[in-house]
Amino acid sequence: MFNISKEKLKILKSLNTPKKIQDFLDAMPMNFEKDGETFLSPLSVLEKKVCHCTEGAVLAALALRVNGQPPLVLDLTATRDDFDHVIAPFRKYGKWGAISKTNHSVLRYREPVYSSIHELVMSYFHEYTDPKGRKTLRSYSQPVNLKMFDKFDWMATKEEIDYIPEYLVKVKHFQILNRNQIRNLRIADKIEIAVSNIQDWKR
């Protein structure tokens, strides 16, 4: 199935709900890219047992696909002073939720309770802050179905899958704020900043 070995397929099939996928990713150490930037394929993530947000989202999308759901990823873009983020959205009972690999306390799993992608994205807005407490989320893509990359064998390869994040950078994004809204954003307070700086894994 999908040219994936029986051993790896067994792991992916066991992740048969978004909650199980999220728990699996949460238990996996963060990929701090100590030897330079990486975009590990899902099978490489399973072997190395580390991942960052993009790698985790693509692995989540593959697990969703193996279990009968569309393999979707969605790009969130921030200001120049912060990092972008990639999540794996999914639908259940007609509502949207998201699987998210992050090292921080806030940009995490979202229950499938959102009526639209815009609602789902905006659930990340207030917690998406830089170390100074500035709210930095600025735009998002529509969900990208990774089936479009099947010709590159992204599900079974052990090679880097840099073409996926490269596509996510280029795909159309939707701005969520106008200039007046940006100028009037309130800085997060001290307790919000403290919470956002909590990390799962230390470098």
- CA–CA separation, 59 vs 155, rounded Å? 9
* pLDDT exceeds cutoff 90 at 138: yes
Three-state secondary-structure class, residue 54: helix
pTM: 0.97
Task: Please compute the mean of the pLDDT values over residues 133-140 and round it to a whole number.
Answer: 98
Q: For residues 139 and 79, what is the distance between their CA atoms, to the nearest angstrom? A: 9
Q: So what's the pLDDT on residue 1?
A: 74
Alpha-carbon gap, residue 180 to 62, rounded angstroms:
40
pLDDT (tens digit, 9 = 90+) per residue, 69-87?
999 999 999 999 899 999 9
- The one-letter code for the residue type at 31 is N
3-state secondary structure of 177: coil
Share of the chain above pLDDT 90, in %: 96
30-58 tens-digit pLDDT: 999 999 999 999 999 999 999 999 999 99
Could you give the percent of the chain with pLDDT greater than 70?
Answer: 100
Between the CA of residue 114 and those of 61, 68, 173, what are the distances in Å?
19, 21, 19
- Which residues make Cβ contacts (< 8 Å) with residue 185, sequence separation at least 6? 134, 135, 177
Task: Give strand ranges (E) for 100-172.
Answer: 110-114, 137-141, 144-145
Q: In whole angstroms, how far apart are CA 10 and each of 4, 46, 163?
A: 10, 12, 27
Q: What is the mean pLDDT of residues 118-130?
A: 97
Residue 187 has pLDDT above 80, yes or no: yes
* Residue 198 reports pLDDT greater than 80: yes
The pair of structure tokens assigned to 84 is 């972008």
As a whole number, mean pLDDT of residues 185-193 equals 96
Name the token pair of 127.
């917690």
Q: How confident is the model at residue 2 (pLDDT cuts 50, 70, 90)?
A: confident
Instruction: Tell whether the model's pLDDT for residue 203 goes beyond 90.
Output: no
Contact 134, 196 (CB under 8 A): no
* Single-letter residue type at 195: V
- 95, pLDDT greater than 80: yes
Average pLDDT taken over every residue of the chain:
97
* Domains within the chain, CATH numbers bracketed: 6-196 (3.10.620)
Contact (Cβ atoms closer than 8 angstroms) between residue 103 and residue 201: yes
